[in-house]
Structure 1
Amino acid sequence: MRYIFFSWLLPFAVTCFARNALAVQYQSSSSLNHTLAVVSTDENFYTQANQLLQQQLDLITRIEQALISPDANRMRAVRGQLTVQTKIVEGFLKRQNRSSPVLCNPTDASPLPGQLDNSQTKIYCSLSAASQELLKLAPVLDQLLSRRGELALVRKLPLINGERQSDPVMAMKPIQRPYLNQPATPFSTTEPNLELTNQPTPRQSTEITSPSTLPIIGRITKTAIANYVPPIQPAIAAPETVLTILATAKQMLTAVQTEFPAGTKFRDSQETTTALDRFAYGLDPQEPQTYAKFLRLPHTGIFRALPTLAYQRPLNTLWNRLQPSVSERYPFPALGNTQGGFNPSLALQVVGDRFKLQDQGVDYSFMVDVGDIPLEKLDHQLKSVALPTREFFLNYQPPKELAALPVERRRFITGKDQNWNQSQVILASATAKLHHTYIVRSLQFQLPEILLNRQLTNLEQSRYIDQLKQIRSSDIILAFRPVRSRTDGSYTILWRVLNELPAPQISY
């Protein structure tokens, strides 16, 4: 009964709290309306119009983000913000002139009513036209919100000033408020943490990747949980009609910015979003300039090694699988020339307090910290490196058979069963230390799909002999050096390819 009685207040509650949660730069409607009530002057007009135009641009960016987000609360918020913004703009227009259709009709030859000059009239009409254009999105956003409700729980919102739910046990239950700053709870919230199904032994305490995650080529293997099928992430594409409306409104608002007084500035929310994304995952713009002298050397590069969690989807959260991932937006540096789709890369990540190459398939690598040796002093013979390490990196021979590659990979991950005469165990990871240099030998392979999907019998091998010969590979010795660390655990990395060894010839 309570919700029925106050149902007429619910849309206002939705929009106001959406505006407060996801649009910090929005002024409260009461304070803004109070400002708009002041007698209009030229300075007042441009100040108020500047605020409204910027708010409309920000709203367009948030709607664009909500269109491709599976979060129901984000869609719910922009729907409310659209209503609030439309009312605020409408109030401003009415205070400036009460005959908007006449004022903005280009075919009307009557003199301009009121005291708006030509520039103010153009701004006035652009705000009006953009607001009416955005208002077309209201029924579409309602429809899209209902679709988001298929992915996550859309709760009834409490009243705008909060309310207590009736409870037979807790008479003084905490006040609930319609906050939309947290993502909606997805319906599929039972994802198990498969990384905890195989705890490392004490000897494996330095492991980065559990051996259970290594592929077994050509055979069906047991899964960590029997009959478990991970949830399929939604694929969400923004409707073209909505994007057209947003582009039209943005074009109106952008074109009229030249009518404001000189020195008036507007921020591009999309550029801000891009800059924040680059700040979170990419290099700072000045870093390539700082190391320009080193980067002029052949086969060198710079990139940012991120914590491995940056590439993983948190459990029980929704992602739009159509959107590029972090590794797609900021790809790992390529180490050689692409040949037939095979492109060796430096997939260096930070796992805990260690550097580790996240090798795929049957790829494997090993690395050693050689101390504070400048990258410029290293050569293809590793003369600046201690003799035992140098000999091992230069003389190590990979297996010749495909089935032996996963076994060899486990040796470097676990440190077990290493049959070479070394004073130290060679691992696939090393403790991350700033201004230290690391020597890496990386072996990468491109396997045909037929090997990844099934086990071939001797009879079938003759039928697929051409595909079996398509195993491409690379064997590269390189060095990298972290030159800057950040509070999020990432490092700015300089790297250099030292030696490209003959590609391993693998037989099936």
Structure 2
Amino acid sequence: MRYLPLLLLLPFYLTLSLPPASAAEPTNVLERRRPIAFWSQAEYLIQQQLNLIQRINKALASPDLNRVKGAQGQLFVQERRVKQFLESQYPIPEFLCRNGQEDTTIATELDASQRKVYCALYSSTGQLQPIDAELEHRLPMLVGLRKPELLQSARTSPFNRQETIIPRFSPVPDFPDPEPPVIGIPAKRPLAGYEPPFQPAIAPSEEVSAVLSAARKPLLAVLDIFPPSAQIIDSAEATRIADRGDYDLWAIDVQKHAKFLALPGTGISRILPAESYRLDPNQLRNRAQPTVAERFPFVPLLKNNNDYVPRFTLEVADGKFRIPMPGMDYGFLMNLGDLPLDELEINRQNTDILSSEQAKLFLNYQPPNRLEALQAEQRRFLTTKIGAGFIPSLTTPASNQTPVVLKNTYLLRLVQFQLPEEVITGEPISRSDRRYLNLILDTPSSDVLVAFRPVQQRFDGSYIVIWRVLDQFPEPQIVDLHRYVELD
């Protein structure tokens, strides 16, 4: 009996002697039990989700096998990140987000704004579920198009034992396209009988595009809900802005020259390096995707009511301004020196700053009206030679290229034609379409005199130029196009 008091006090002693449960657990367990900061995690996941959707968009339009594999792997990782986050905030997302909308009748620790973000992530992730099968279906189509490049993370890995895939075609000789092109007569090729292989054409299905658009929509709808400190960027819009920054004018360019641009017949352009328009035949690409020239065409010089407009066709190559010569287009230019562009007046009554030969060429020149003679004119201004066999050879007072000098004014004359496709490609005209032969061979054209001035050079070698249309000549005609079409 003498030990009875001790037995009665034993439970209290054990309670005091045992450490609390929180003290007995390791630190990392406590960290896992702490509630996750909702806004920082949600901001990260929504940004990653937008990046993923943009990456999938690019992968589905790319012939690169690794891009598709990379998008597929990121989709797998992102789905599990989002699932873990959602379940950490509310264990059953299906109850809280019914039909993509938050159920306000369910009691949770999330406030109204957090519920909207929570359900936006849940809805977007659900929309992306069919994409994995689409990416998996795309992989066999891309196998063998080229030797795949290893992903960045795998290039230095000693465990990478991936065998290279033999490409379907050997490296393509990088011969430039003939310029000016030859139309209507046989022309030699750099390699006899050689035809470069077609690049693949890949068009993502409309259903997949609709799925990706639906997955972006709930994410963009909740961006305004986030705290002001959040910095979420729409990846698709950022890509478009970056693309315009690489090839188009910036807003500040227009603002700097607003006073000059208020004058009639004026404009501003960014003159890109010629390499921007050339496509490397050894670089696999999707030929269904628009090229730089298609995304950022040369700016119009005049406003016309019809579809055809003359354009400010100019590029930079080897430190020179050069006029490209597609089809039957050609032109010539010269440097006038440091003359103010807004006060420049050059016409048949005002030729003081031009020599007699220059005035005759720029103001009185008349393009020929036959196709063969036009092609000869193209070569004349390309080579600056009037004819062969002259010793010394006679040269023209201007050519299609001249060195670039900042803050100098240039005089440019452009002759342009919109040739029918049947003339360019040699596609025969069917018997049923012969009645429309005059309409088919209709060739809109233009002949304009322009002065321009480079005012800034960009780091990529492009130039910002302001220009002004000085005169417009009668539209040149081609009277013998019917000789260069084939009738079926």
User: What TM-score do you get using the length of structure 2 for normalisation?
Assistant: 0.79
2:371 alignment partner in structure 1: 402
Is the CA contact 1:161–1:177 (under 8 Å) kept in the aligned structure 2?
Answer: no
2: CA distance, partners of 1:485 / 1:158: 34
Distance 2:379 2:328 in 1: 10
Distance 1:465 1:132 in 2: 55
Secondary structure class of the residue paired with 2:368: coil
Change (3 A) 1:35 1:243: farther
The answer (yes or no) to whether the contact 1:158–1:177 under 8 Å persists in 2 is no
Q: In the alignment, which residue of structure 2 is the partner of 1:241?
A: 207
2:146 paired with 1:152: yes
Aligned residues of 1:191 and 1:316 also touching (Cα < 8 A): yes
Distance 2:216 2:187 in 1: 53
Distance 1:34 1:189 in 2: 58
In structure 2, give the amino acid aligned to 1:398. P
What is the correspondence of 1:53-452 to structure 2 with a 5 Å cutoff? 53-105=46-98, 111-113=106-108, 115-154=109-148, 163-164=157-158, 176=160, 187-195=168-176, 213-338=179-304, 341-381=307-347, 382-383=350-351, 385-388=353-356, 389-417=358-386, 425-449=397-421, 451-452=423-424
Task: Decide whether aligned partners of structure 1 residues 137 and 336 sit closer, same or farther in structure 2, where only a CA change above 3 A counts.
Answer: same
For 1:222 and 1:66, the matched residues in 2 are separated by 39
| 1:367–1:426 Cα contact (<8 Å) kept | yes
Aligned match of 1:473 in 422, 445, 449?
A: 445
Q: Per-residue deviation at 1:304?
A: 0.5
Q: CA deviation at 1:424?
A: 7.1
Provide closer, same or farther for how the CA distance between residues 36 and 504 of structure 1 changes in structure 2, counting only shifts above 3 A: farther
Change over 3 Å in CA distance of 1:481–1:159 after alignment to 2: closer
Q: 1:419-449: CA deviations, max 9, x gaps?
A: 9x99974211000111111111122234445
Q: Is the 1:153–1:187 contact (alpha carbons within 8 Å) kept by the matching residues of 2?
A: no
Cα shift readout 1:449-472 (whole Å, capped 9, x = no counterpart):
55446699xxxxx99984697344
Q: CA deviation at 1:176?
A: 4.9
Structure 1 residue 40 corresponds to structure 2 residue 35: yes
Q: State the percentage of identical aligned residues.
A: 38
Aligned-residue offset at 1:301 = 0.9
Offset of residue 342 of structure 1:
3.7
The 1:438/1:156 distance shift into structure 2, 3 A limit, reads closer
Give the Å deviation of 1:72: 1.6
Task: Please report how far the alpha carbon of residue 340 of structure 1 lies from its aligned counterpart in structure 2 after TM superposition.
Answer: 5.9
Q: Larger Rg: 1 or 2?
A: 2
CA positional deviation for 1:369:
0.6
Say whether the 8 Å CA contact 1:473–1:503 is kept in structure 2. yes
Distance in 2 of aligned mates of 1:253 and 1:35: 32
Contact 1:483–1:494 (CA under 8 A) maintained in structure 2: yes
**Cα distance 1:426–1:91, how it changes in 2: closer, same or farther (>3 A)?**
same
Structure 1 423/370 Cα, relative in aligned 2: closer, same or farther at 3 Å?
Answer: farther
Deviation at 1:368, TM superposition (A): 0.6
CA shift for structure 1 position 56: 0.9
Report the count of equivalent residues.
Answer: 438
Which residue does 1:19 correspond to in 2? Answer: none
Q: Compute the RMSD of aligned alpha carbons.
A: 3.6
Corresponding residue SS for 2:342: helix
1:89-132 CA distance string (max 9 Å, x none): 2222233333333333579897525x333333333233233223
Q: CA deviation at 1:334?
A: 1.8
Alpha-carbon distance between aligned partners in 2 of 1:453 and 1:315, rounded to the nearest angstrom: 20
Do the aligned residues in 1 keep the contact of 2:331 with 2:413 (CA within 8 Å)?
A: yes
Gaps of 5+ in 1: 1-32, 165-174, 179-183, 196-209, 457-461
